[in-house]
Structure 1
Amino acid sequence: MIQEKLRQLLPEVEVDPRAISALLCGSAAAVLVLKWVGRRRIQEKMEEARRTRDLGLERMEQVAWKFKQKNPGVQTSFILSLPLVELAEKLKEGSLSPEIVLYTYIDKALAVTQEVNCVTDFIQGCEEQLRDLTKRKEKGLLYGVPISIKDHIGCKGHISTGGLVQFLGKVEEEDSVIVKVLKRQGAIPFVKTNVPQSMINYDCSNVIFGQTLNPLNHKKSPGGSSGGEGALIAGGGSLLGFGTDVAGSIRLPSSFCGLCGLKPTGNRLSKEGSEGLVTGILAFPIAVMATIGPMARDVDSLVLCMRALLCEDLFQLDPTVPPIPFNEEVYSSSKPLRIGFYDGDGYFQPSPSMKRAVQETKQLLQRAGHTVRFVTRVPAWGLSLKLKGDIMDPNLKSQVNTYRLPVVVKRIGALLLKPVVSPSTFILFQCSSRFVPNAVSLPLQAYRKEFIAKWRKLQLDVILCPALGPAFNAAATSYTNLYNVLNFPAGVVPVTTVTHMDEEELKDYRGHYGDLWDKRLKEVRAVGLPVAVQCVALPWQEELCLRFMKEVETLAHGTRQSPTYRDP
């Protein structure tokens, strides 16, 4: 056939079948060679990145060892046990030195990452910053506090990979705005942490640095995409970390790892210096804003962090951020709250422990004098990915394959699957589900307006709802991504742990549709793992959200069990 086509195109030229065969074979061989060369280059880039990471870990080990040799009597266990607020006070008053604290956490972070693989880079500039810090006359709110940052948050002299090979070798020329402000407040960024490939997975694995494990149970995921942060903080290797959230990427790891995490309103904190990587990875059908937010062991730490960040330095460095300082009056108010709550969203049936966490928290709030009433709402949204030029992580394949289906196929698939599978599955067939036109497409502003109008009509201050948990190996994110679509501040607070009774009840769990997602969402061997609730406020009301989170944390503290490591 090929020969005939050539004769038609070139009638005056004698076509030699042997020459054509040789040409085709040569072309095929050339294509294979080019593919091999391209794949080899990718492998070499990954190997170089791993070597750099390993050298960084060796450097951490060396500096920690030298410090311990010079300071054999340092009580590191005491330092590691201090809550952030107390540690910050001791650093500021001088009863603890920034040097002792930094090297203590470098040593601990090294131990944690050797166990769960969460650190991707050692920020060696932290030692130089430490020397400069001790010369300062003015001490910021985070003076001497070591902090960790998610892989893609820009840090001068370091790469921001997003778990993708295409970003390897692209060294940041300057710090992101958030890192600049943290440094001006005295904080010391000392490590960067792992993310899933493309940063849009609820797990934490990529082909460059591998899988990060949950320190509470190595058979469980730490969550994504800020999973490295969650694992490091939960393991005790960091007091305060920073993640980003576009569908739950701060709240899921915080929930899975027993931490507190805050997703602010989209532009309350600056994304300059990290936003370019996000937009290079994700392609959204709607304007869902990625947000930067803090993760820590308790709500007080989040509050101190937001006080430090919402300052004049932030507003000057990034004039697109509204100059709204932290509102102490709102956070400190003792006025009873009007709280709406729901314990299921109609898409993904909550696990027994998720539902119990909300119900028990609701009862505690009512006993404390707050007004709590049941509300209903409907979330949904979709997204697509760009992974060209990368070797795909196996943990991401099924998710991405669904996103890559042509729109026509998605629409047909949604119609066929709609009667038999849960919305958590056919939400992935974006632009076709019955929920998408109402919540995700062009009338998004109208949807937000309607949602806020219903909120106002009920005279609510905040909403209490489930946070996905405990740590799953697969998950549906409908409970978190709604508040990215709406651009509301939302945080998670651990309030309980999974009990044997929860697992007994799980035996009868079928979900709403009994589909693949429902079958996979099982709390197998989850006893003792943390379960959180989600606290939500209206846009720009981070202080009210934090006040609500603190109230929940305080009320739950009397009955809350500490997460315990369960050897798999």
Structure 2
Amino acid sequence: MQALQNIEQFTKGVKMDKWAVALVTGATCVVGSVVMLVKKISSHRETEEKIKRARNKREESLQRAEQAVLRYKESHPTTDSAFILTLSLSELTQQLKEGSLTPEDVLYSYMEKTLAVNKKLNCCTEILLESLDQLTTVGSNKDGLLYGVPVSVKENITFKNHDCSCGVVINLDQPAEKDSVLVQVLKKHVVVDLRLFLVFLPALVLFVELGEKVPELWKQHAAVEDYIQETIAHWRSCNIDVLLCPVIGPAYNFLYCGKLSTAASYTMLYNLLTFPAGVVTVSTVTTKDEEELKHYKGCYQDMWDKLFKEAVTGGEGLPVAVQCVALPWQDELCLRLMKEVEQLVKESKK
């Protein structure tokens, strides 16, 4: 009898423990849900604040630009903006260098046109007003190829101390620490110290909600960008101007490209790095080459050597080329190397 009573009391205790566990679990879930909700609301508010700040900054930039244009027009009523906007680039640069037009006339004319177009299309994210300060020193840079010419740069091109959001909220409030390579080249080789940049981005869109795949893609993109910067730094530390990459062979036979993509990885790499690259034909596959290929064993006599032989067999007459590579935004150096290679090939055939 006593044993039955003990069992009954134990059973009641177990039931009470289950209820307690259930109660604690339920309370924990509620608290967790509340915490997650608070975090989500807080994150949403933070996002809205970022968007609000970006919009206010943009509006302030446009308003200040409008005021600057009005003041200039009042003090220079004879400036013919309509005529300036009809000039081609060559005509514009010529008149600027001759002095028949001033950089101020050109800048304010284009700013006025930009503001007018923006009201219709909502295409301007910001006008860099520091360009107005450069007008005081621009006269000393008349040798620049684009002396006094306003230059527009898309919002996805980094400009020091300005956001490069690409329309994504996560990138707001993160001003670039330095100019992009394009901006550096413009300042150094084209515009010199004249920073007349009107920044455009067709239909700026701020994505408030991002899916979970998106962060992974963003991490991958960030890793690629880091790799690009590491490669550029190493390239420069080696004092390399341009690079010449011999292509491994002529075009592969049908269905072999996918099987032997690793053999071309050292040339395909520059697609990932976004380096300018071009291919120049230096020779063609000859009958002698085909005869020698019949005895080709490869480096390791493995599957890859066998596949390569099959891939290029029967290529008589096909071009054999080299790949020329340069750093980003230095396309002219790549083209110069290609021209030099082409010239050497012509001379060798004489």
- Please indicate the TM-score interval, normalised by the length of the shorter structure: 0.5 to 0.7
Contact between 2:324 and 2:337, CA under 8 Å: does it hold in 1? Answer: no
Aligned equivalent of 2:195, options 188, 192, 195: 188
Tell me how large the CA RMSD over aligned residues is: 4.5
The 3 A distance-change label for structure 1 pair 78 and 457 is: farther
Task: Tell me the CA shift for residue 282 of structure 1.
Answer: 2.0
The 3 A distance-change label for structure 1 pair 446 and 544 is: closer
Say which one has the larger Rg.
2
Aligned equivalent of 1:540, options 329, 334, 347: 334
The 3 A distance-change label for structure 1 pair 194 and 283 is: same
- Per-residue CA shift, 1:89-125, capped at 9, x if unaligned? 2111211100000011111111122222221111111
Contact between 1:158 and 1:172, CA under 8 Å: does it hold in 2? Answer: yes
1:107 corresponds in structure 2 to 112
1:206 corresponds in structure 2 to 205
Distance 1:50 1:81 in 2: 32
The 3 A distance-change label for structure 1 pair 99 and 80 is: same
More helix by share: 2
Task: Tell me the CA shift for residue 438 of structure 1.
Answer: 5.8
2:153 corresponds in structure 1 to 149
Aligned equivalent of 2:42, options 29, 37, 40: 37
Distance 1:281 1:127 in 2: 39
Aligned equivalent of 1:169, options 173, 185, 188: 173
- Per-residue CA shift, 1:156-205, capped at 9, x if unaligned? 3311212222221122344344424423443433322226xxxxxxxx65
The 3 A distance-change label for structure 1 pair 27 and 44 is: same
Structure 2: unaligned runs, 5 residues or longer: 1-13, 209-216, 230-235, 243-250, 270-277, 286-322, 340-350
Q: SS state of the match for residue 20, structure 2?
A: coil
Distance 1:31 1:144 in 2: 55
1:259 corresponds in structure 2 to none
Matched, 1:282 2:221: yes
The 3 A distance-change label for structure 1 pair 130 and 281 is: farther
Distance 2:92 2:252 in 1: 41
2:66 corresponds in structure 1 to 61
- Per-residue CA shift, 1:296-349, capped at 9, x if unaligned? xxxxxxxxxxxxxxxxxxxxxx7788557xxxxxxxxxxxxxxxxxxxxxxxxx
Task: Tell me the CA shift for residue 154 of structure 1.
Answer: 2.6
Q: SS state of the match for residue 78, structure 1?
A: helix
Distance 1:77 1:438 in 2: 60
1:51 corresponds in structure 2 to 56
Distance 1:97 1:118 in 2: 27
Aligned equivalent of 1:25, options 17, 30, 34: 30
Q: SS state of the match for residue 206, structure 1?
A: coil
Q: SS state of the match for residue 158, structure 2?
A: coil
Contact between 1:149 and 1:189, CA under 8 Å: does it hold in 2? Answer: no
Distance 1:181 1:114 in 2: 31
Contact between 2:125 and 2:204, CA under 8 Å: does it hold in 1? Answer: no
Task: Tell me the CA shift for residue 83 of structure 1.
Answer: 1.3
Where do 1:392-407 residues align within 5 Å?
none
Q: SS state of the match for residue 541, structure 1?
A: helix
The 3 A distance-change label for structure 1 pair 86 and 544 is: farther
Contact between 1:159 and 1:170, CA under 8 Å: does it hold in 2? Answer: yes
Q: SS state of the match for residue 196, structure 2?
A: strand
2:10 corresponds in structure 1 to none
Contact between 1:438 and 1:447, CA under 8 Å: does it hold in 2? Answer: no
Distance 1:126 1:140 in 2: 16
Distance 1:82 1:321 in 2: 41
Q: SS state of the match for residue 135, structure 2?
A: helix
Identity %: 28
Aligned equivalent of 1:119, options 120, 124, 145: 124
Q: SS state of the match for residue 163, structure 2?
A: coil
Counterpart of 1:41, as a letter, is E
Task: Tell me the CA shift for residue 155 of structure 1.
Answer: 2.1
When normalised by structure 1's length, the TM-score is: 0.37
The 3 A distance-change label for structure 1 pair 68 and 539 is: closer
Distance 1:115 1:543 in 2: 45
Distance 2:138 2:332 in 1: 38
- Per-residue CA shift, 1:118-162, capped at 9, x if unaligned? 21111111011111213x165311111110112132323311212
Contact between 1:106 and 1:190, CA under 8 Å: does it hold in 2? Answer: no
Where do 1:283-298 residues align within 5 Å?
none
1:445 corresponds in structure 2 to 265
Task: Tell me the CA shift for residue 23 of structure 1.
Answer: 1.7
The 3 A distance-change label for structure 1 pair 70 and 33 is: same
Structure 1: unaligned runs, 5 residues or longer: 1-7, 196-203, 210-277, 291-317, 325-375, 379-433, 459-485, 490-536, 546-568
